Structure formats: structure tokens, C-alpha cells
Amino acid sequence: MIQQGTITTTTTNNIGTIEFFHPMSNSLPGKLLGELAEAITAMGNDDEVKVIILKSAGERAFCAGASFDELISIKDLATGQKFFSGFANVINAARKCPKLIIGRVQGKAVGGGVGMASAVDYCFATEHAAVKLSELAVGIGPFVVGPAVERKIGTSAMSQLAMDATEWQSAQWAKDKGLYAEVFENDILMDDAIDTLANKLANSNPEAMSMLKQIFWQGTEHWDELLAERAGMSGKLVLSDFTVNAINKFKKK
């Protein structure tokens, strides 16, 4: 059971917390992605929750992105599109959630992890939270997470991450580009700042925050269709010999 990962939700003082975990550096297989999207939607509909914190377990890896084991097992287009739709569903769940979402990025974020950090409304990180869009290095591309990342950091920075797919960019770089609002020396300082903001928001006007959320995401109303189309692009590429060989080489490193 533990190999499948877990999603844990708690609510305290009107602050909802969603924590995901997977033993492989918090990578996200399809089942976990589905549960994560459902958890975000459920908290968005919970009247007791005024603000949401999205985090992962552990210390040095926020999210390693897609599960390579699951990627390499994909043998047909429908399965591929369904898998990549998992990331699309998480991003869309965060986008459509009427509650403001605070992200907690304690360590490295790769691929889908960068997409998740981009899909929250206010993101805190530690100096260990370097970012990388590694998709092109394994023969795919950051198609599904691309709209969320580009919305947050702009086309130029998004292009840099997407094209230089084997290189890490520092947490400070991510802050300078607008992905992270604040970067801290350690998770203790980060958590203090998160608690302060979350408690302020938990005591703010829910209707005003919901309206703010709608304004923040204005212009993304077509993303249900856009991200489904992007999932199809990735689902097609993952079947190619180039991508299969690239993933196998990557797994052996």
C-alpha cells in the first residue's frame, strides 16, 4: 500500500492541509494524481475550510513529477492520454477551487512538480527548492504543465526551463521569475511564514477571497479543453521508440 503513496487531508482552525507522499521522491502515479485532484475539489467545497495548504511529505524532494515506472508501462494512446490527464486534472482542480491555495515547496520540483507549484495561488519555498522541466530530456515535453508554468513565470523563463531540460534552476531563480513568493533558509522559517499567512486568510472574508481567486485565474476558462489536448500530445509521444529508449536510459542512471 505504501508503494502506491498516500494523500492525507486535515482541517484545523479553518485551514485545510493536503499532503501527498510517495516513496520515490514524491513522484506521482496516476492513482495518486486522481486522489489529489479529488482532495483539492473536496476541500474547495468544504464550508469549514477557508484556505488550503498544499504540501508534500519528506525533506528534500517536493515532487519528482511523473512516475517513470508507470510511464514506461504505457502501451497505447488512450492509456497515455489518461495518465497525462492526471496532471491536467490536478492543475484544473487547483484553478477551479474557490479557495486560495498556499504551496509549500521544501525541496526539488521536477516536471509535474513545477506545474503544481505554478498552480497554487501563493507559493513558499526553501533554498533547496530548485526546479527543472526534464520532459524534453526523456523525449516528451512539458505540454500539460506548460500553461500553468507560463502563466506564472512568463514565456521567456518557461522556454528556458523547457529547452534546458537537464539543468536545475535555483530556488532564487524561481523567486526572481515569480514562481516562488518567498524563499527561506530552512523549512522551520518557511512554515512560520505559511502559518502566519494561512491564519490571516482564514480570518478574511471568504466571498472576497473567492472573487480574488476568480480574478487571478481570469482568461484560463478554456483550460479544461486545452490541458486535455496537451495530455493527448504527451500521450502520443510517450509511445515513440525515442521516448521509450530515453526513459529506459534515464531510469538506469
CB neighbour list of residue 125: distance below 8 Å, 6 or more residues apart: 105, 106, 117, 171, 174, 175, 180, 182, 183, 184, 190
* pLDDT over threshold 90, residue 3: no
Q: Which of 59-68, 82-91, 159-168, 201-210 has the lowest mean pLDDT?
A: 59-68
CA-based R_g, the chain, Å = 17
Residue 205 lies in a domain: no
pTM over cut 0.85: yes
Q: Say if 229 falls within a structural domain.
A: no
Tell me which residue has cell 505540454: 143
Total count of domains within the chain: 1
**Does residue 1 register a pLDDT over 50?**
no
Beta carbons of 18 and 40 less than 8 angstroms apart? yes
DSSP E strands, 148-242:
182-184
Give domain status of residue 26, yes or no. Answer: yes
**Could you tell me the three cell numbers for 231?**
495530455
Write out the residue range of the structural domain in which residue 86 sits: 2-188
Residue 141 lies in a domain: yes
CATH of the domain at 104: 3.90.226.10
pLDDT digit string, tens, across residues 105-116: 999 999 999 999
DSSP three-state, residue 65? coil
Model pLDDT for residues 121-139, shown as the tens digit of each residue:
999 999 999 999 999 999 9
Sheet with 108-110, strands from edge to edge, namely 61-63, 108-110, 131-132
Cell numbers for 183: 524563499
Q: What are the pLDDT digits (tens) for 40-85?
A: 999 999 999 999 999 999 988 999 998 888 888 899 999 999 999 9
pLDDT at 188: 97
